[in-house]
Amino acid sequence: MKVNKLGIDLLTHDPVVILKDVDGKHQLPILIGPFEATAIALALEKQVVPRPLSHDLMKSIIESLDAQVEKVVIDDIKENTFFAKVILRAGGDPVEIDARPSDSIALALRTNSPIFVSEQIILAEALEDKSAEDQDATAFKNYIENLKPSDFRKDT
């Protein structure tokens, strides 16, 4: 998945990050805190701040230990709270670290690491993105409406 956009939840007025799968079929909104929203926004805009933020510090620590963020996985939800893991690779062995999705996403953006969401979460929590289907349907409808009899003629 990738970060599709940041926004504000209309009901709670809390920041929300919206992930979108690579096929563009599903979106997963996750409520996050304002500090994490800022960290994600800075990473998306590739802005550099004068002093490192927490996620920049995490990245520096990981790199100084000759480890890499292999991926982050949002893999559970309990009582409306998402759970995630950061998977590090250090010395060939993967290391799983429990993390909040917002921190995981902010770190993944800084390390260019992939973001995964478990199938269970997608089935239970993701929203279908109808906009791609609607665009295809609109294009087809326009094509049909603009057909002329000459379009059916076979030129031999």
Measured from the Cβ of residue 133, the count of other Cβ atoms closer than 10 Å reads: 12
**Distance in angstroms (rounded) separating the CA atoms of residues 39 and 55:** 7
3-class DSSP state of 26: strand
Does the domain spanning 2-127 belong to CATH 2.60.120.260? no
State percent of the chain over pLDDT 70: 84
Distance of CA 151 to the CA centre of its chain: 43
pLDDT tens track for 96-138: 999 999 999 999 999 999 999 999 999 989 898 766 556 666 7
Neighbours of 114 (CB within 10 A): 15
Query: What pTM does this model have?
Result: 0.81
Segments in the chain below pLDDT 50: none
Taking the mean position of all CA atoms in its chain, how far away is CA 50?
A: 26
Count CB neighbours of 147 within 10 A.
9
**Domain limits of the chain?**
2-127
